[in-house]
Amino acid sequence: SQQGEEDPQALSIQEGENATMNCSYKTSINNLQWYRQNSGRGLVHLILIRSNEREKHSGRLRVTLDTSKKSSSLLITASRAADTASYFCATDRGSTLGRLYFGRGTQLTVWP
Amino acid sequence: DADVTQTPRNRITKTGKRIMLECSQTKGHDRMYWYRQDPGLGLRLIYYSFDVKDINKGEISDGYSVSRQAQAKFSLSLESAIPNQTALYFCATSAMGISTDTQYFGPGTRLTVL
């Protein structure tokens, strides 16, 4: 069964705008990860945030984690057309065994 | 060269045929995974392996089998393909560690079962 649930399912914005995607989950976690998938291609890891972290940055990406609300957000600032992709969150459900549980993803479209 | 490769990249087959999808990696990772992706359903884990002698079922293993021939190779077989196994299949790897680590994905195999 799915662990993360991304919201919204689809997001359409203009270049230069910020894009915010949310992920909710149901169990305790050790860490939460965000991945990106260009159409029909393999997923690419973007960022990992541990359960004891509240915010993490990587370039134009900002991820927050609120373990009390079991939610995370991914903010992409100053979006570009090349950011058009699907974005997935994944959690480990508190296990250290290496399995990840993915959500259904948010499809982001950035118009030039 | 890509760190995780999958062959074939596309395959069209008929119901009842046996199909093998292959995955190779040069990352030196111990952990390997097979996922399937269907539109609107995200990724679902089929099988995973933490070393050559270790095979574990995922969420949707029925109708599939796997073989870990070496640290670098992990194959997925559909013994008798059926149309609802039409999907995009991904292999992934990760390092063995004390916590769940980043996974590295192959480019995918698009399988169509007629």
Distance CA B16, CA A44 (A): 33
| pLDDT classification of B64: cutoffs 50, 70, 90 | very high
**A52 interface with B at CB cutoff 8 Å:** no
- The nearest alpha carbon in chain B to A102 belongs to B43
Q: Is the pLDDT of residue A2 over 60?
A: no
Average pLDDT value for residue range A2-25: 88
pLDDT in tens, A50-104: 999 999 999 999 999 999 999 999 999 999 999 999 999 999 888 777 789 998 9
pLDDT in tens, B100-113: 678 999 999 999 99
DSSP characters over chain B? --SEEEE-SEEEE-TT--EEEEEEE-S--SEEEEEEEETTTEEEEEEEESSTT--EE-TT-TTEEEEEEETTEEEEEESS--GGG-EEEEEEEE---SS----EE---EEEEE-
- The nearest alpha carbon in chain A to B60 belongs to A1
Looking at chain A, the whole-number percentage of residues with pLDDT higher than 90 is 78
User: What is the predicted pLDDT for the residue at B104?
Assistant: 94
User: What is the predicted pLDDT for the residue at A3?
Assistant: 55
Query: Locate tokens 């996974």: which residue?
Result: B103
Q: Is the pLDDT of residue A7 over 90?
A: no
User: What is the predicted pLDDT for the residue at A98?
Assistant: 77
Query: Locate tokens 């995607």: which residue?
Result: A21
Q: Is A108 helix (H, G, I), strand (E, B) or coil?
A: strand
Average pLDDT value for residue range B23-30: 94
B89: chain A residues, CB-CB within 8 Å? none
Closest by CA to B33, choosing from B101, B113, B94, B102, is: B94
Q: Which of A2, A9, A100 is the mutation pick for testing B, counting most B CBs within 10 A? A: A100
